[in-house]
Structure 1
């Protein structure tokens, strides 16, 4: 099982193509490409953390997308997630298993002993940043540089694909330490 991180798909959002200069002629082409990119990396047994702005549209439209995506998905709510809670509830009820979950607006996960703060929005400091925790965010569509051990995990930055933990780890290796890092003595 692998763990993936992503944000800002904006499924069913026609104007995001223009706003972010996405290379798609319409929402059908965009949705299809985003689903294919997702499923080419994420397998059924994998876990995905989606950091907000998943989809626009009615519950039924969002449900159609949810049904086509691989993996268990944990959602951090973003600024454009109207109806997502209802779509997730409908998906889980229909499937009889809670493989789609709404976590809230922020959470901390621990992957291979690395604490990662997940939020739709970028922060300059975050819980335990002074101890070297990482922070992944979306919302800015590649227009905001990360700060210390943080970066934008949105699809507009990463060729419309989710990033695995290994890919995030490689990206963090080249990031500077958090400005407030406390140097711990090693005993």
Structure 2
């Protein structure tokens, strides 16, 4: 098994996203090339990638061409701009609307870190009071980060157009001021 990565909101092929999000690219072709380069700079062939939606807004042919260049086993959490991806489900390890990932991590309680993955931000989620993380996209860095919440926007607009590894996500979560609302075992 390879490493685990998270990302969202690439919007491959979407020229207007450059203007909407003030992305530093002159054209959609430049943006797509750079996003592919940054993806592959971090992700290797055997790595697992959890993409939290809005992967591409382009033709089936252009979508296939981009997918052929991306490293990793891609798991897609459906966003609001994934019609082309939904017509190409076989290109993914799986496609889901929502997912609760369990990552083996000996530094966590019970040796597992739970992560709720959804395209959209939630104020609370299953296990939020017990240290479960929540990663989301969609907002393109427009929502304020809550320091006392174990959640944040994993979208490329928030992370210099790079995906983040599990360890990078963990480091961000460790900076949060969140504390459990009750003692373990208490209900």
For 1:130-164, what per-residue CA distance to the aligned partner results, in whole angstroms no more than 9, with x for missing partners?
11100000000011123400000000000000000
Query: How far 1:101 moved relative to its partner?
Result: 3.0
TM-score, with structure 2 as normaliser: 0.90
Structure 2, gaps ≥5 residues long: 106-111
The answer to whether residue 7 in structure 2 is matched with residue 15 in structure 1 is no
Q: Which runs of 4+ in 1 moved over 3 A?
A: none
| Residue equivalent to 1:81 | 82
Structure 1, gaps ≥5 residues long: 92-99
Q: CA separation in 1, counterparts of 2:75 and 2:19? A: 28
SS state of the match for residue 115, structure 2? strand
| Residue equivalent to 1:122 | 121
Q: CA separation in 1, counterparts of 2:183 and 2:54? A: 36
For 1:44-67, what per-residue CA distance to the aligned partner results, in whole angstroms no more than 9, with x for missing partners?
110100000000012111111111
| Residue equivalent to 1:140 | 139
Preserved contact between residue 150 and residue 172 of structure 1 (Cα < 8 Å): yes
Aligned length: 176
Preserved contact between residue 89 and residue 95 of structure 2 (Cα < 8 Å): no
The RMSD of aligned alpha carbons is 1.5
| Residue equivalent to 1:97 | none
For 1:53-101, what per-residue CA distance to the aligned partner results, in whole angstroms no more than 9, with x for missing partners?
0000121111111110000000000011012122233x4xxxxxxxx23
TM-score, with structure 1 as normaliser: 0.90
